[in-house]
Amino acid sequence: MWVRPLCETAAGPLHSVNVAICGKGFLPPMTIADQVTGPTIAGAAGTKPAAAKPRTAVPAITLPAIGERELRLDLFRGLALWLIFVDHLPPSLLTWFTIRNYGFSDATEIFIFISGYTAAFVYGRAMLESGVVIATARILRRVWQIYVAHVFLFTIFLAEISYVATRFENPLYTEEMGIMDFLKQPDITIVQALLLRFRPVNMDVLPLYIVLMLALPFILWSMKWRPDVTLGLSVVLYAVTWEFDLYLSAYPNGFWAFNPFAWQLLFVFGAWCALGGARRMSRILSSRVTMWMAIAYLVASFYVTLTWYVPQLSQFMPKLIEQWMYPINKTDLDVLRFTHFLALAALTVRFLPRDWPGLKSPWLRPLILCGQHSLEIFCLGVFLAFAGHFILAEVSGGAVMHALISLCGVLIMWGVAWVISWYKRVADKSGAKSKNAVGNADLAGGG
Amino acid sequence: MKAKVLLSLILLCGSLTAPTARAGDAAPTASAAPASCDLPAYLLTSESPLPKVAAAVKAGKPLEILVIGSRSTTIPSSENSSYPARMEAILKEKLPPSGVVHVSVEIQSKKTAEETAATFVKLMEAKTPTLVIWQTGTVDAIRAIDPDDFRSAVTEGVVALQSAGTDVVLMNLQYSPRTETMISAQPFLDNMRVVAQEHDIPLFDRFAIMRQWNDQGQFDLFSPSRGPELAKQVHDCLGRALAQFVIDAAHREPAQQQN
């Protein structure tokens, strides 16, 4: 989430000096909410080239203060990426550390919310500084990158499934091998995959993200006008989706596993928070009532989750509540899941202050690095999950092997994130010399 | 492998699992189940009763069981080792010798729950089973049917079977680690559980059972083996578990009536 647009209009970036200039250009007063949410322009280590341009228009939205980079966003996005990776592997010991076992929501919610937040932050600024057209063009370029990433992952999936189809002949699973039937019609399947209508398991997040990013120009444009109305419209769309069962159809049948009409709520909410909403919510967020409600809700949902794993407990669940509550619909972002995420976020914001020294500790560095290059690391995670699965299947699985694969996956994600960071630093340096340092913001763009 | 997984589960759940963790299978009859079939008791019991089965067993009437399934109900080229056949053998052993047990199988391969449910009225006219074990979900998962549509199809099927006057047990998908990245089973498992809850019928959790075996190392379900041996053993254990499950649900009934 390098936040470049604001400063990139000026000439050559000059590192920390410029960061300071850039920062001073338009520093709105710091408030509590800034501590809560304000992500920041300029790199944590002052690595991000930047220069200033005074803000001219006075829009309806306010962008948070520029100071230090908001590491909490990176941290939790990195965490979400690791959790998504672990959740995509077959269940193992590590799976018990993923949050979906302790409540309704899971890493997907975190990922989409933070993506909305950072995307709005980056491109919202671009829209204020360079206008709607330029910002839209930049967003579309980002969409293209995500699309290419998705197609790349699909290719890997094809390779894996074809391999299994030809090598695996356990008579116990003749029926399950029916999944290979689509290989018989590559003409249709591959075209449908390119149209985002055929999505294999575990490949649903990127198409959702593509659609949300496509809507981003409109969301931002509307937010520039009236942020609250935009959020209201988003809630209305969510409600309409539930009432009238809107969906995007998929191939060969069924619909998108993450319904964009419902999940947009989280994305828009993230954008709204980034563009000043969080600041206005700071009173609510810091109230004790909110805290206790959030805690109560999290405990209750933890108890419900526990009944899934300890069936003996389910006799203590009133049938009436069960019938009202189930099924908890992930496709349409069940209200219970959304609320669970809100409760988690409220507590996180309260108990993990923006300036928590731990954020700088080397122990959290790997997570933060991964969070800073989320599109690359997300794709890598999906790939590693495929690969890990494959290894587990070929070499007979064992707890040790399983743990080793999970660990290696995480290490590889960290390593690659580090390399990307390093490369960007180097490229930015040489780019600065040749005054050609445009482009990083897109990679920053909340991917 | 996954003794550790279980251990962590138990640690997580504290003493809650402890009382039931003793595997509750293998009644002390002649055919002691192989150790590889061991399962925790909660996978073999259900809170929902099977009144018709209970009545038939009590009165010594013949017990007619119909298994409606798909290709995973059988093992290609060794029908006699498939789980319905194994269940029949075990039931005959464990139930009082006076009663007659007969298990028939209706395979509807490559049909979704909706397509299968559509045949139930006719099927029930032709046969009059005491108990129908309906195994479904795999084809729907492979074709990625809308889970809501799946749920209403299963509901429809269950209602049709019940109104034909039989007890119903639902059986869910196989645990298939190889195809886990390709088939999304979870929504279908969840929805079958919901239907079972709504209609108060037992759900035989084949998925959890097979995963338990795989995690405990009793069976290596990742194995690409081409021979039928693994399939035979798994089906034997499934048949035993299913027999145990049916007997348990049938015996549960009187206690439920007292409540």
How is A58-105 classified by DSSP, letter by letter?
A: --SS-PPPPSS--HHHHHHHHHHHHHHHHHHSPP-GGGGGSGGGSSS-
What sign does the CA torsion over A402, A98, A89, B225 have? positive
Would you call B177 and A393 a contact, using CB atoms and an 8 Å cutoff? Answer: yes
Residues of A whose CB is below 8 A from B211: 91
Token pair, residue A82, equals 């690791």
Instruction: Provide mean pLDDT across the span B234-242.
Output: 94
pLDDT tens per residue, range B77-135:
788 899 999 999 999 888 877 778 899 999 988 899 999 999 999 999 888 899 999 99
ipTM: 0.77
Q: Does A179 touch chain B (CB under 8 A)?
A: yes
Residues sharing a CB contact under 8 Å with residue A236, sequence separation 6 or more, in sequence order? none
Please tell me the distance from the alpha carbon of residue B228 to that of residue A172, in angstroms, as a whole number: 8
Distances (CA, A) of B49 to A312, A326, B120: 17, 22, 22
If we measure between CA atoms, which residue out of A192, A178, A183, A176 comes closest to residue A160?
A183
pLDDT tens-digit readout, A352-380: 888 888 888 888 999 999 999 988 899 89
What are the chain B neighbours of A179 within 8 Å (beta carbons)?
142, 179, 182-183
B29 or A380: whose pLDDT is higher?
Answer: A380
- The better pLDDT of the pair A352, A199 is held by A352
Distance from CA of B88 to the nearest CA of A (A): 20
pTM score: 0.72
pLDDT-derived band at B258 (thresholds 50, 70, 90) equals very low
Q: Which residues, in sequence order, are bridge partners of residue B104?
A: B66
Planar angle of CA A229, A234, A236, nearest 5 degrees: 95
Percent of chain B exceeding pLDDT 90 equals 41
DSSP letter at B168 equals E
Per-residue pLDDT band for A64 (boundaries 50, 70, 90) equals: low
Residue A323 predicted with pLDDT over 70: yes
Whether residue B183 and residue A176 make contact (CB cut-off 8 A), yes or no, is: yes
Rounded distance between C-alpha atoms, residue A414 and residue B55, angstroms: 63
Q: Which domains does chain B have, with CATH numbers?
A: 2-23+39-254 (3.40.50.1110)
How many CA atoms are closer than 13 Å to the CA of A297, on its beta-carbon side?
A: 21
Contact B81, B45 (CB under 8 A): no
Q: Find out whether A85 and A78 touch, Cβ atoms under 8 Å.
A: no
Is the pLDDT at A114 greater than 90, yes or no? Answer: yes
CB contacts < 8 A (A, B): 153
CA distance B30 to chain A (A): 28
Query: Best of A87, A100, A173 to disrupt the B interface by mutation (most B CBs within 10 Å)?
Result: A173
Distance of residue B34 Cα from the nearest chain A Cα, in angstroms: 19
Chain B CB within 8 Å of residue A320 CB: no
Residues of chain A positioned with their CB less than 8 A from the CB of B146: 253-255
